[in-house]
Structure 1
Amino acid sequence: MVKLNVIYTRTGDGGTTGLVRGPRRAKHDLRIEAYGTTEEANAFVGQARLSASTQPRIDAVLARIQNDLFDVGSDLATPGADDPQAEYPSLRVRPIQTEWLEKQIDHFNADLAPLTSFILPGGTPLSAAIHIARTVTRRAERLVAGLIEVEPETSPEALRYLNRLSDLLFVLGRVANAGGTKDVLWVPGNYGDLKKGE
């Protein structure tokens, strides 16, 4: 059980932060950016849940996602391989968590009509909030991809999880739009409003 009694330590006042193991790093270090953006995505998922009271199926999925995103953050905050003599292994994202996302995508997407255009974030407040969480998740995914290039020992499952999560959030955004019927479709080259002002 985690127990936090001290909220401020002053140890980060010099612009560095500690990881689960290893030397302290600059707060703008790519690894810190990666797990910090994962935490940001988690916060936006939490905000989306405030609009999900009438959609209990979506809310239950988002609740599970929040817990899993904490696992992703812990994984990213723990560089390097475990010491074989360690009493407890490091918390890592597992393939079963990514597979659960895939099952949710298949389940929720089954009843949606095929898209005939790209969609714009919006429609209902819940859908718009989910799309914000989705785009922040995409940013976290890009940062993890960059981190893997410079620190190849970084968990590839964290990258896969974030990739699949953004796909699920896209689908849930459509579900939140009355099963896609309230989706806002992109109209390419839509100059109609400009012409009205001529």
Structure 2
Amino acid sequence: MKIYTKTGDEGTTGILGSKRLRKDDARIEAYGTVDELNAAIGVARAHALEATEDELAARIQDDLFTLGAALADPNPEGPFHNQINDEHIAALEKAIDDRVAELAPMRSFILPGGAPAAAQLHLTRTVCRRAERLVVHLANLADEHVPSPVLIYLNRLSDLLFVMARTVNHHAGVPDVPWISKK
């Protein structure tokens, strides 16, 4: 199988089904940013996460590939369109709750930073928020459909990435960096 097909040389790309879209289409922007998010998680994993965090990150990467396929499938009856569901969201919520239980309560806003893996998770969270904004934009366009669990998943995931960053710092013995207002 060749990597290059030359079918995108005119600025279009194929999506699930036989349809082609411009590469700057809102749908392509949305699932392209989800792909970037998946890659950012891969970078966080390359920073030698502890086994529990790495296992969770691997599961999230798998979920994000599924979520990207859902976004690449504009047909509400398509085979990938509804693959992200309430079970995926519940798993994220459990992971958040498990981690928050071992952390000290927040007393201020936290600046991104700390241990290298935590800093990467903070950066990954910002990519997740951008992906969420692009998916919300897509969902609000006429004649577009995005399953609500996809939106909820990305919202919960950004919260989880924040908590994972704090957990990584906690386990590394590196304090979170508090934001201190100059007022």
Structure 1 partner of 2:178: 185
Alignment of 1:75-86 (within 5 A): 75-82=70-77
Does structure 2 retain, via aligned residues, the 8 Å contact 1:52–1:58? no
Does structure 1 retain, via aligned residues, the 8 Å contact 2:114–2:174? no
Cα RMSD after superposing both structures = 1.6
1:116 aligns with 2:112: no
Structure 2 partner of 1:61: 56
Does structure 1 retain, via aligned residues, the 8 Å contact 2:169–2:176? yes
Structure 1 partner of 2:31: 35
Alignment of 1:18-167 (within 5 A): 18-53=14-49, 55-82=50-77, 89-90=79-80, 92-150=83-141, 151-167=143-159
The TM-score, its normalising length taken from structure 2, stands at 0.93
Does structure 2 retain, via aligned residues, the 8 Å contact 1:22–1:79? no
Count residues in correspondence: 180
Q: Quick one: distance in 2 between partners of 1:149 and 1:41? A: 21
Where do 5+ consecutive residues of structure 2 fail to align? none
Moved over 6 A (4+): none
SS at match of 1:177: helix
The TM-score, its normalising length taken from structure 1, stands at 0.86
Identity %: 49
Q: Quick one: distance in 1 between partners of 2:80 and 2:164? A: 31
Does structure 1 retain, via aligned residues, the 8 Å contact 2:13–2:20? yes
Q: Quick one: distance in 2 between partners of 1:79 and 1:118? A: 38
| Bigger-Rg structure (1/2) | 1
Where do 5+ consecutive residues of structure 1 fail to align? 84-88, 191-198
Q: Quick one: distance in 2 between partners of 1:128 and 1:136? A: 13
